[in-house]
């Protein structure tokens, strides 16, 4: 059964016992109250939370400014510093509390109290200032999952510099595009990273990226994570520890406007190059803060572990900012789930007493394959909540997570949201009755609706396009440097206020949402977002490729895999040479974008299936990629014989 079919036929309901319910901070009554308040006074609901949860150096008087809708501003005349909110305000009563427990790939462990984190962030903030970084400057962070990545992000926030973290798995080409688009002045990186028992170089990609078109980058700060040698360019590259030597442990956080951009994070869309999603300071932090409290119930005794890399939005809201803002203890892990064996995640949970664990369905599916005996070898008794994010979770994986990892006791918090939404949007509170495969109901203050193709709101038990009707504090503020693209992409319904998500969803009779997947040309491979057009552009930039079309096909671990249909401008080689070409093209995509974008399947034909007006018939390609029989009407095809060519592997 496909994922969508299994989701749409699911009808089990799971409720936690009253005894466990009592342990959660937000009761059903409190939740009902919050929903009622938000429905009655949307802006007042968020404004009260912003006053209660965040520390403002200058209080705001305006909740929402919608005078330039859909360019919304929240808490506009207020000022705050995000790093102050994440660190300094805890120093009075939590200075010795552990903020970060770090476990390296090889099992090396480091702990940082809030005071130690404060000192490190201050030293690095002073370092950035000494290196000429000022408020509003863009700084690229291209680092592995080590505490220094969070320290760098927090230090940028402290001085009002705008960071853009680029996932360490992206190639030099992808890195360059982001450096150029952001107009970054500095890159912070490491000599390499440690993953799965190996060391992987990183800095060389920065060197390659900076070879052309990045003249505005004046400095590169390099943290030495591995023992490997690293080439340093005189005058440009600086060693982190040397630069930091003698810097003060004190730094006065720079107060910024609530709307000051905290960061840019590049993400794929259906057209063009990845866009720089611009997030604000006050509004972003508010939703990152409250969702860590609401969905994960983080309290003083919790140890929270979100497995996401800081290169993705999840690693921003649920590693670098949210858990610190609520004053929690969190785990950061450098390695991979299967090294030294597939029990690694459960070992980390056991050793650090993890109480709340948050990961992606793709990881659950991959670990499920190793059976239930492996997790049983570890003590997972402390776990009390389990989260998932990034893609629809199929009921089978949900049940395994619930029964084997959560031992039937831990609610599964399936969180639907996006890079652009900043934080959770549709997700259960721990007390919410659960249905496997459903992210349940919108959060209080999040006005999710379902639209038909024409943009009319559907009421009741229906499926269609997911949209958000009213602005919320952590929403995307702009596509960096391109207001028109922001409006066209997210608010395409002329004259209507809907933020259109790009996902289709179904709402059942209980008002529960079931996300069915993207409706645009965006793929979701292992929970990572990739634009088909990006991969197509990478393929056609290869000398032997004339044309390419990319579609997704279902994959039992990755959710979706990349399938590429390629037209060559040379004769199609046979046998081993053909296999070698397939490999060459896969490596090419990896080099242009990163290993996550490598096609699983590459097929060749003399043309792409197009209509007589030249439009590529992607639905046919999707059917071929899935290995389905073609039942669609092919009469509009310019050349029907093409299909036979592509059907041959």
Residue 205 CB, shortest distance to ligand PRX, in Å, is 21
Q: What are phi and psi of 272, to 5 degrees?
A: 65, -170
Residue 416 CB, shortest distance to ligand PRX, in Å, is 4
Residue 257 CB, shortest distance to ligand PRX, in Å, is 26
Does the annotation place 416 within a ligand binding site?
yes
Residue 179's nearest CA partner among 171, 187, 168 is 187
Residue 270 CB, shortest distance to ligand PRX, in Å, is 12
Does the annotation place 22 within a ligand binding site?
no
- Across the beta sheet with 138-142, the strand order is 237-239, 219-223, 186-190, 138-142, 162-165, 263-267, 275-279, 478-479
Q: Between the CA of residue 541 and those of 86, 535, 582, what are the distances in Å?
A: 44, 10, 15
Q: Which residue is nearest to ligand PRX (CB)?
A: 419
Residue 141 or residue 413: which is nearer to ligand PRX going by CB?
A: 413
Residue 523 or residue 617: which is nearer to ligand PRX going by CB?
A: 523
Residue 222 or residue 597: which is nearer to ligand PRX going by CB?
A: 597
Residue 419 or residue 489: which is nearer to ligand PRX going by CB?
A: 419
41: Cβ–Cβ under 8 A, 6 or more apart, which residues? Answer: none
Does the annotation place 178 within a ligand binding site?
no
Residue 334 CB, shortest distance to ligand PRX, in Å, is 20
Residue 83 or residue 526: which is nearer to ligand PRX going by CB?
A: 526
Q: What are phi and psi of 220, to 5 degrees?
A: -125, 120
Does the annotation place 236 within a ligand binding site?
no
Query: Rounded to whole angstroms, how far apart are CA atoms 417 and 424?
Result: 5
Residue 207 or residue 462: which is nearer to ligand PRX going by CB?
A: 462
Residue 388 CB, shortest distance to ligand PRX, in Å, is 6
640: Cβ–Cβ under 8 A, 6 or more apart, which residues? Answer: 634
Does the annotation place 414 within a ligand binding site?
yes
Query: Rounded to whole angstroms, how far apart are CA atoms 425 and 427?
Result: 6
Residue 116 CB, shortest distance to ligand PRX, in Å, is 30
Does the annotation place 415 within a ligand binding site?
yes
Residue 479's nearest CA partner among 41, 80, 88, 164 is 164
Residue 528 CB, shortest distance to ligand PRX, in Å, is 7
- What SS3 state is found at 213? coil
Residue 314 CB, shortest distance to ligand PRX, in Å, is 5
Residue 12 or residue 106: which is nearer to ligand PRX going by CB?
A: 12
Residues 572, 153 contacting (CB under 8 angstroms): no
DSSP summary character for residue 353: T
Does the annotation place 626 within a ligand binding site?
no
Residue 253 or residue 473: which is nearer to ligand PRX going by CB?
A: 473
**What residues are paired with 4 via a beta bridge?**
none
34: Cβ–Cβ under 8 A, 6 or more apart, which residues? Answer: 26, 45, 444, 445
Does the annotation place 127 within a ligand binding site?
no
Residues 218, 186 contacting (CB under 8 angstroms): yes
Residue 412 CB, shortest distance to ligand PRX, in Å, is 11
Helix 42-53 × helix 282-294 angle, to 10° = 80
Query: Rounded to whole angstroms, how far apart are CA atoms 514 and 312?
Result: 23
Write out the residues near ligand PRX by the rule CB under 6 A.
267, 313-314, 389-392, 414-419, 439, 501-503, 515, 518, 524, 529
Does the annotation place 514 within a ligand binding site?
no
Residue 267 or residue 292: which is nearer to ligand PRX going by CB?
A: 267
Does the annotation place 529 within a ligand binding site?
yes
Does the annotation place 404 within a ligand binding site?
no
446: Cβ–Cβ under 8 A, 6 or more apart, which residues? Answer: 425, 426, 468, 472
Query: Rounded to whole angstroms, how far apart are CA atoms 30 and 144?
Result: 40
Residues 505, 513 contacting (CB under 8 angstroms): yes
Q: Which two tokens stand for residue 343?
A: 């029990």
Q: Between the CA of residue 291 and those of 281, 483, 515, what are the distances in Å?
A: 16, 28, 20
Does the annotation place 314 within a ligand binding site?
yes
Residue 287 CB, shortest distance to ligand PRX, in Å, is 12
Residue 160 or residue 392: which is nearer to ligand PRX going by CB?
A: 392
Does the annotation place 316 within a ligand binding site?
no
Residue 80 or residue 439: which is nearer to ligand PRX going by CB?
A: 439
Helix 575-592 × helix 172-182 angle, to 10° = 30
220: Cβ–Cβ under 8 A, 6 or more apart, which residues? Answer: 186, 187, 188, 189, 203, 206, 210, 233, 236, 237, 238
Binding positions for ATP are 390-392, 414-419, 503, 518, 529
Annotated binding site for Mg(2+): 540, 542, 545
Q: Which residues are annotated as a binding site?
A: 195-198, 314, 390-392, 414-419, 503, 518, 526, 529, 540, 542, 545
């Amino acid at each position: 059964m496909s994922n969508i079919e299994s989701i749409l036929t699911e009808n089990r309901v799971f409720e936690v016992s009253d005894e466990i319910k009592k342990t959660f901070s937000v009761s059903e009554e409190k939740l009902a109250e919050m929903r009622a308040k938000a429905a009655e006074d949307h802006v007042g609901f968020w404004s009260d939370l912003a006053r209660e949860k965040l520390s403002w150096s200058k209080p705001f008087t305006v909740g929402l400014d919608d005078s330039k809708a859909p360019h919304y501003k929240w808490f506009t005349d207020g000022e705050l510093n995000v790093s102050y909110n994440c660190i300094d305000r805890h120093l009075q009563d939590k200075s010795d509390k552990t903020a970060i427990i770090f476990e390296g790939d090889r099992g090396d462990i480091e702990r940082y109290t809030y005071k130690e984190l404060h000192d490190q962030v201050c030293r690095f903030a002073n370092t950035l200032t000494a290196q000429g970084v000022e408020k509003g400057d863009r700084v690229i962070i291209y680092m592995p999952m080590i505490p220094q990545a969070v320290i760098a992000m927090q230090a940028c926030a402290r001085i009002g510099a705008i960071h853009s973290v680029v996932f360490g798995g992206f190639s030099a080409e992808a890195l360059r595009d982001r450096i150029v688009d952001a107009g970054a002045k500095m890159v912070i990186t490491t000599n390499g990273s440690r993953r799965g028992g190996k060391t992987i170089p990183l800095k060389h990609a920065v060197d390659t990226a900076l070879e052309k078109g990045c003249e505005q980058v004046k400095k590169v700060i390099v943290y030495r994570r591995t023992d490997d040698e690293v080439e340093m360019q005189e005058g440009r590259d600086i060693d982190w520890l040397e630069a930091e030597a003698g810097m003060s442990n004190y730094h006065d956080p720079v107060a910024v406007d609530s709307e000051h951009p905290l960061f840019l994070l590049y993400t794929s869309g259906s057209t063009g190059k990845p866009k720089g999603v611009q997030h604000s300071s006050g509004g972003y932090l508010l939703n990152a803060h409250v969702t860590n409290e609401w969905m994960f119930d983080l309290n003083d005794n919790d140890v929270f572990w979100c497995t996401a890399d800081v290169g993705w939005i999840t690693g921003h809201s649920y590693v670098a900012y949210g858990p610190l803002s609520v004053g929690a203890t969190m785990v950061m892990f450098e390695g991979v789930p299967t090294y030294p064996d597939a029990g690694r995640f459960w070992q980390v949970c056991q050793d650090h007493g993890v109480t709340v664990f948050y990961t992606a369905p793709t990881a659950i599916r991959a670990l499920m394959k190793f059976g239930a005996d492996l997790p049983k070898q570890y003590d997972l008794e402390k776990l009390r909540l389990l989260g998932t994010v990034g893609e629809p979770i199929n009921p089978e994986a949900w049940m395994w997570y619930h029964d084997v990892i959560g031992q039937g006791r831990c609610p599964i918090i399936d969180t639907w949201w996006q890079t652009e939404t900043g934080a959770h949007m549709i997700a259960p509170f721990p007390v919410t009755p659960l249905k496997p495969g459903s992210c349940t109901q919108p959060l209080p203050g999040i006005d999710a609706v379902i639209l038909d193709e024409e943009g009319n709101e559907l009421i009741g038990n229906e499926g269609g396009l997911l949209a958000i009707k009213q602005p919320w504090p952590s929403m995307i503020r702009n596509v960096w440097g391109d207001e028109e693209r922001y409006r066209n992409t997210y608010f395409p319904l002329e004259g209507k206020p809907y933020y259109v998500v790009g996902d289709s969803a179904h709402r059942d009779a209980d008002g529960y949402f079931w996300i069915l997947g993207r409706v645009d040309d965006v793929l979701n491979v292992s929970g990572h977002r990739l634009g088909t057009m990006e991969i197509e552009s990478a393929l056609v930039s290869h000398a032997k490729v004339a044309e390419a079309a990319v579609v997704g096909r279902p994959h039992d671990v990755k959710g979706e895999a990349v399938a590429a249909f390629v037209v060559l401008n040379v004769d199609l080689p046979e046998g081993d040479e053909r296999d070698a070409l397939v490999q060459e093209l896969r490596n090419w995509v990896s080099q242009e974008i990163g290993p996550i974008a490598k096609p699983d399947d590459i097929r060749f034909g003399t043309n792409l299936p197009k209509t007589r007006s030249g439009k590529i018939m992607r639905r046919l390609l999707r059917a071929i990629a899935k290995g389905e029989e073609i039942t669609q009407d092919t009469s509009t095809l310019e050349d029907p014989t093409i299909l036979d060519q592509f059907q041959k592997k």
